[in-house]
Amino acid sequence: MEEREGEVRWDGLCSRDAAARRAALDTIGQAVLRRAQSIAPGTAALPAARDGLAEALARLLLLAKRCPFPDVREKSEAILGGVQELGIRIPRPLGHGPSRFIPETETIQVGKEDATMHTLFAESFATLGRLDNVTLVMVFHPQYLESFLKTQHYLLQMDGPLPLHYRHYIGIMAAARHQCSYLVNLHVNDFLHVGGDPKWLNGLENAPQKLQNLGELNKMLAHRPWLITKEHIEQLLKTEENSWSLAELIHAVVLLTHYHSLASFTFGCGISPEIDCEGGHTFRPPSVSNYCICDITNGYHGVDEIHASPAGSVPVSSTESVCEVEALMEKMKQLQECRDEEEASQEEMATRFEREKRESMFVCSSEDEESAATRDVSRHFEDTSYGYKDFSRHGMHVPTFRVQDYSWEDHGYSLVNRLYPDVGQLLDEKFHIAYNLTYNTMAMHKDVDTSMLRRAIWNYIHCMFGIRYDDYDYGEINQLLDRSFKVYIKTVVCTPEKTTKRMYDSFWRQFEHSEKVHVNLLLVEARMQAELLYALRAITRYMT
């Protein structure tokens, strides 16, 4: 990408070599201070110079607050201090940490992580050029985070069928389906960084026809994947000069499903805007007079900060919450005993599945939830009225997809690995880690086998998509998942942009935030696998 004159270059900061990072920061500091001196009070400056400085200062704020390397944090703080001495207002963070739902004091603090987490943070920073808020919430579960980062790095940056700018644009298209401005903002920056044409960002109609043709598959995968047929695949593969190869299409499908499900995680965990992005910082002075640069790295945001209570906005007595946990454990015990005593017939199992699938269509919140505030991202996709809510309100029938006929393990995995080598293996590892992850705890209880509960959550999500496991008794779902939990699951998976803190607070009220993040990992992977199953089955049918 052509470098603009006077542009601050950040690339060297991604180096794993401390000397190279220091050299890069010295260069950045000199460029920022020169620009700051040119617009110091009493000097004339072009608006572009001011905008450029504001962007650079916001990025330095991110480094001072969120870089895993102490030398970078300290140097960034010093550069900001130098700018402040010139009489220029510096930014300060907004919000309360990486999540709007989880108090910052209960998340992992950068600079206080253990050796394992530091390695993950350093790897993430070196790969992405930042330590983003998704990583800072996912790190509750380091084993999963490591797999997630490895997979995402491969999809976006390693050798593959699609050019780099296409990959980020497809990420934008997918995230925009759920109005996820957090992910859209990140990938707009990445798209431009790898040489993407800024005109494409004015609307999908400005992108190449080949990408426009992907719009139909994007919206169906995001909202109604059961409607995908081999004819949709054929249209993409046989469109003459704008056609996709099978390998390119597999890459695109994996990217679309990855970012649809990551949008679910972003909203489900209340991920805050990045410090250097819109909504993550402000240049307005705080409401106290003794605020100084040292406060930035100490996490102080001024007296106007509102500290969220861990209990959230849903008042509940601790006794009631403890009873909730005890009741759930007792149900798990009773269900295990029933399994040992008798087994339902295949006919009864099928009936229970159809009942659960039908009931899941009508699970919705009793309140008129409002979507989280987002910038307008609709220009990145077409048919803005198309969504899951239309299906549920009109009571349309979802056909049953039997896993015994087409499964990830027996069919999808090998297809992906054949057309996009190693990705099938990476996805399979990520699915298994999310599904099998356990610390054998439930709230305050230890040595608990949670496999029954994890399977109920996974299978409920697949049930909402019409996917049935013949060997599972769907009657267990109503025993283990109460209404508030079902509302949360349905919202996060199907209409994540409508997720609210009240929903997050309302389920499993005595459980740790790490356990609620664990639930979100199950939702992310179960949703991604469900979308993939429908798309890969259609591709398989086209090929045969």
Taking only the tens place, the pLDDT of each residue in 368-394 is 444 443 446 655 555 565 666 444 445
Task: Examine the pLDDT at 262 and tell me if it is beyond 70.
Answer: yes
Residue of 446 and 92 predicted with greater confidence: 446
Can you give the three-state secondary structure of 298-366, one letter per residue? Answer: HCCCCCCCCCCCCCCCCCCCHHHHHHHHHHHHHHHHHHHHHHHHCCCCHHHHHHHHHHHHHHHCCCCCC
The number of beta carbons lying within 10 Å of the beta carbon of residue 190 is: 21
Task: Examine the pLDDT at 41 and tell me if it is beyond 70.
Answer: no
The model's confidence at residue 45, banded by pLDDT at 50, 70 and 90, is low
Task: Examine the pLDDT at 160 and tell me if it is beyond 90.
Answer: yes
The CA distance from 39 to 41, in Å, is: 6
* Per-residue confidence (pLDDT) for residue 352, from 0 to 100: 78
The number of beta carbons lying within 10 Å of the beta carbon of residue 392 is: 19
Residue 107 backbone dihedrals phi, psi, to 5 degrees: -100, 165
- Among 457, 453, 456, which residue's Cα sits nearest to residue 441? 453
* Per-residue confidence (pLDDT) for residue 42, from 0 to 100: 61
Q: Are 107 and 98 in contact (CB under 8 A)?
A: yes
Percent of the chain past pLDDT 90, that is, above it, reads: 58
Task: Examine the pLDDT at 490 and tell me if it is beyond 80.
Answer: yes
CA distances from 503 to 71, 367, 382, 486 (A): 40, 10, 29, 10
Structural domain spans, the chain? 135-276+320-543
End-to-end Cα spacing for the chain: 42
Taking only the tens place, the pLDDT of each residue in 279-291 is 888 888 765 444 4
- In the chain, the largest separation of any two C-alpha atoms, in whole Å, equals 84
Taking only the tens place, the pLDDT of each residue in 217-251 is 999 999 999 999 999 999 999 877 899 999 999 99
- Single out the catalytic residue among 14, 67, 180, 292: 180
Q: Which residue has the tokens 């006794």?
A: 319
Active site residue 14: no
Q: By mean pLDDT, which of 79-88, 114-123, 284-293 is the weakest? A: 284-293
pTM attached to this predicted model: 0.87
Query: Which SS3 state, helix, strand or coil, does residue 154 take?
Result: helix
Structure tokens at 413: 């995995």
